[in-house]
Chains A and B, each alone.
Chain A
Amino acid sequence: MAEPAKKMTEADAKLHEALDQVRSATQQLHKSMMEAVGAHATATKSQVEGVIQKAKSTADAAAAALRSQHGEAKTHLTAAVEKLHAVEKQASESLKQSGQAARAALDKALVDARAAVGDVSEALAALRGHGAKKSA
């Protein structure tokens, strides 16, 4: 039996909207990394620079959304911001390296990007109240 929908306040709606936007940006980051970095053993300098820029803007958006979140959602979003900064750092590191070291840095960036999407979706699940109840 489905639970009756709860009425959402305007403030709640804004929280959800902010998190939806961060999720979308984080998904886009991972998607573009998979297309640019995940598909080939090498990535061009401009592709990596694009990743760095996107990771930075996504981290900024997540940090901005973080200010209005609470509880479990805030915890997950904080973790996402840290991982997005790690993406930026690892991708930057890859530009300073070459060969396998550059590839390893990009692989770590990809792992962090995937983990960031997971953290944001967990934040969204917490905000939606999907984690608290038993399945029926």
Chain B
Amino acid sequence: MRNYVAVVCKDESKAYEALHALWRLDSASEVTVHGTTIVHRDWLGHFHIEAKETYPALATAIGVGIGALLGALAGPAGAAIGAGGGAAVGAAAGGMIGGIADIDRADTREAAREKTRLVVREGEYAVIADVSEPWTSPINTQMNKLGAIVYRRSREEIENEGWYGFPYDYYGYYLDPYEYPRP
């Protein structure tokens, strides 16, 4: 089954361990990983996407794409937040991309807590992945060993929601299609 998975970790080193664990599961043919990225929620509540240096137009596109996926992973409440402008994204100097998915807006906070499938608190990291997995247990088992929390939504469910009217492959497009080392 094709799923989008978010693995929430307490710190950066655990996030990279989780990233490498996912690609190891791919190498072992336990799952097939189509793409991954790591996002960090800073103490101001903003999401920063770990990405290679990209020129501004591409950086903005990546930020928008990942912001949309974060909104979609947050479920109907997150999608509503994103559609309301919460997934606004800008590119900053040095190749760091600042994506903002405003899950803390007061008017939607309670609804998000009730319905959300993805919660990344301030200071936390999340590995976002697009995977084909016949069983959920390989990823769950590995990530539980790292003390991480796994959130999962089926690609079909997200794409059927079509809350932005994005084309079929939009959400996974901006995920990196290979493993990368910690900078």
A3 to B33, CA, bound (A): 18
C-beta contact mask, A107-122 vs B, less than 8 Å → 1, else 0? 1001000110110011
Measured CA separation A129–B133 after assembly (Å): 9
Q: Are A128 and B29 in contact (CB under 8 A)?
A: yes
Task: Take A38-B52, A118-B169, A134-B1 as given contacts and tell me if A30 and B178 are in contact as well, using a CB distance cutoff of 8 Å.
Answer: yes
Dominant secondary structure at the A interface:
helix
Are the C-beta atoms of B178 and A135 separated by less than 8 Å? Answer: no
Task: Write the chain A residue with the least CB distance to B3.
Answer: A135
B164 adjacent to chain A (CB < 8 Å): no
Known contacts A39-B55, A128-B29; is-contact A3 B169 (Cβ 8 Å)? no
A136–B138 CA distance with the chains assembled, in angstroms: 10
The answer to whether A2 and B173 have CB atoms under 8 Å apart is: no
> What band does the interface of chain B fall in when counting residues whose beta carbon is under 8 Å from A?
20 to 34
17 interchain pairs (CB within 8 A)?
A3-B134, A3-B135, A27-B178, A38-B52, A38-B55, A41-B56, A41-B57, A107-B58, A117-B177, A118-B34, A118-B35, A118-B169, A118-B172, A121-B33, A125-B132, A133-B135, A135-B133
Shortest beta-carbon contacts, A-B, top 7: A125-B132, A125-B32, A130-B132, A117-B177, A27-B178, A135-B1, A133-B134
Q: How many angstroms between the C-alpha atoms of A122 and B132 in the bound complex?
A: 8
Chain B neighbourhood of A3, CB < 8 A: 134-135
Q: A39-B55, A132-B134, A136-B137 are in contact. List 5 more A-B contacts (CB 8 A).
A: A34-B52, A38-B54, A125-B2, A129-B134, A130-B31
